[in-house]
Amino acid sequence: MQWKIRMLLAQQIVNGLSIGLNYALIALGLTLVFGVLHVINFGHGQVVMIGALAALYAAELLNLPYVLTLPVAAAAAGLLGVVLHLAAVRPVVRRRDGHQDVLLTTFAAGLLIHEAVLASRGPAPARFDGIPGVLHVGPLMLTNQRLFIIIVAGLTLLALLYLIRMTRFGNELRALAENEFAARAVGIDTGKVILVTFAMSAAIGGLGGALLAPLSAFSPNIGQGALMTAFVIVVAAGLGSVWGTVAFAALYGILESVLSLTFDQGMASATVSGLMLLILIARPNGLFGKA
Amino acid sequence: MLEVEGLEVSYRGNCAVDGISLSIAAGEVVALIGANGAGKSSVLKALMGLVPAASKRLDLDGSPIAGLPTRRRIQGGLALSPEGRAVFPRMSVDENLSLGRPGGGHEEDRNAIRRMFPRLSERATQAAGTLSGGEQQMLAIGRALMARPRLLLLDEPTLGLAPVIVQEIGRIIDEVRAAGTAVLVAEQNALAALGWANRAYVLTNGSVTMQGDAADLIDNEEVRRAYLGV
Ligand SMILES: Nc1ncnc2c1ncn2[C@@H]1O[C@H](COP(=O)(O)OP(=O)(O)OP(=O)(O)O)[C@@H](O)[C@H]1O
Ligand SMILES: [Mg+2]
């Protein structure tokens, strides 16, 4: 292969890893909620959008530097996650067929959020500045924002994996995901674990939104795309698998970036989704799910 | 230590436990025997606060526990080893054990459990789902013991297990009692349960139809015909 093409490929792999880790933050929110409740939170995409919007307002109205808008994004989204849980999930999930209802109520809550944002500021995209500048490593060129995403998303994922595998809360979360009755029998406060999981999932989703937006721009419509990408990733990875989600999100980002060398962005995403579909046909429980 | 009067459990209007009364003294082993669907598990779950229940009286050591969340009942001295083992299959043996105590298990308790169940101690880091049925039952009992209960509730501990393991469970119950913990064991295997117990209640369609010393019940004609198959 020609040297130039190889460099281009290496660059797209790094770019893809960056966006893949960002997808992982967003997709893990779906995975964790699925783990404890066995439902897909179809409002998650709009939570991601609200995270980005909160960061945008924090920058515009409070003049906060970009880095400091990230905690604001996570907090706003986390709060919204709690509201979403209390308003759209908890009241219906224990009902007969409650799990199906939750798909609808979270979707409806998402629509409501989306419409509210459209009504208040219109559909026009807004410029969203992240970390400026470009890093040159030899012939490779990496924007500082993408580098920043790798660092922040990477650290957040590590912290999250630590929380899940090594702490009491993580043990309770995994116990609840594996056997709800046994979890209640050993005295785990399952309602609290579910609420915290919702808040945490929303917070990392909001962080993901605020990290992702500078790569293009803020638009009230970024939630739908984020949800679709996250959904494809968690389903293909095997619902509920944390490691699978991270690995698959990285793979998704890299494939998408590499394919965008020859296809346009939309075609690249569609191709990756198609590949994921093939995986599901071959392994109906996902690549990392139990066979 | 446990006083129960008029305990009722119903599921969507279907009555599963119909106003039963029972009492358990400290250090006693009591069996709750009955056929499939008699309501044994419902009684144990109601004592733990795991199903909605009504009662005239539900006292642990003289204080009412009705309405308390499960965690508080565990802190008050109850612990349940559920029917069908119900371990956390993808978590390790040690992680399962530490979940037995709200707020986290203590190392010394875990060591005590390991001494009691040497086979678990050899498999501390193994995923619980890869244990044999007997080992999973031991783990479920060990996990309940991690809470240092004063009354241990065992739901169908012999279900699907070989006779040697059933004997092993008898040994464990003796050991638990010797350490001062009372045991309430729900069993379809009436012969085994009556062999372990001081006293027993016979549950039929949600009501207590017989009760008394285990030794007397073993000799009782009706019990022999209905539950011992002789
Ligand atoms: N969650 C539930 N929802 C509806 N009905 C239930 C539920 N749990 C138990 N029941 C019903 O209540 C009755 C008593 O069930 P329970 O499990 O307490 O019996 P059991 O004596 O433990 O039986 P087994 O020996 O088979 O374990 C049964 O008729 C059962 O079908
Ligand atoms: Mg039962």
Q: Is B158 in the pocket of ligand 1 (CB under 6 A)?
A: no
Set of chain B residues whose Cβ sits within 8 Å of the Cβ of A175? 88, 91, 99
- Backbone φ and ψ for B2, nearest 5 degrees, come out as -115, 125
Q: Any idea what DSSP says for residue A66?
A: H
Domain ranges of chain B: 2-228
pLDDT at A227: 95
Q: How far apart are CA A162 and CA A180, in angstroms?
A: 22
Model confidence pTM above 0.90: yes
- Measured from the CA of B35, which atom of ligand 1 is nearest? 25
Q: Tell me the domains of chain A and their CATH numbers.
A: 2-282 (1.10.3470)
| Residue whose structure tokens are 């030899």 | A138
pLDDT at A287: 67
Chain A residues near any Cβ of chain B (below 8 Å): 168, 171-172, 174-175, 178-179, 181-189
Q: How far apart are CA B116 and CA B176, in angstroms?
A: 10
pLDDT at A281: 81
pLDDT string in tens for chain A (291-residue length): 688 888 889 999 999 999 999 999 999 999 999 999 998 999 999 999 999 999 999 999 999 999 999 999 999 999 999 999 999 999 998 888 888 899 999 999 999 999 999 999 999 999 999 999 999 988 888 899 999 999 999 999 999 999 999 999 999 999 999 999 999 999 999 999 999 999 999 999 999 999 999 999 999 999 999 999 999 999 888 888 889 999 999 999 999 999 988 888 788 888 888 887 787 788 777 766 654
- What is the homologous superfamily of the domain B2-228 according to CATH? P-loop containing nucleotide triphosphate hydrolases (3.40.50.300)
pLDDT at A98: 86
Nearest CA-CA distance, residue A32 and chain B, Å = 16
Nearest CA-CA distance, residue A205 and chain B, Å = 26
Q: How far apart are CA A208 and CA A187, in angstroms?
A: 34
pLDDT at A226: 95
Listing DSSP states for B173-201 in one string gives HHHHHHTT-EEEEEES-HHHHHHH-SEEE
Nearby residues for ligand 2 (ion, Cβ within 5 Å): B 40-41, 83
Nearest CA-CA distance, residue B103 and chain A, Å = 8
Residues B182, B150 contacting (CB under 8 angstroms): yes
A187 with B91: Cβ contact below 8 A: no
Cα A200 to Cα A139, A204, B97, B106, B212: the distances in Å are: 39, 6, 26, 28, 53
pLDDT at B58: 97
pLDDT at B229: 67
Ranges in chain B, pLDDT < 70? 229-230
Residue A86: which residues within 8 A CB-CB, separation 6 or more? Answer: A195
Q: What is the Å distance from ligand 1's center to A9 Cα?
A: 61
Residue nearest to atom 28 of ligand 1 (CA): B37
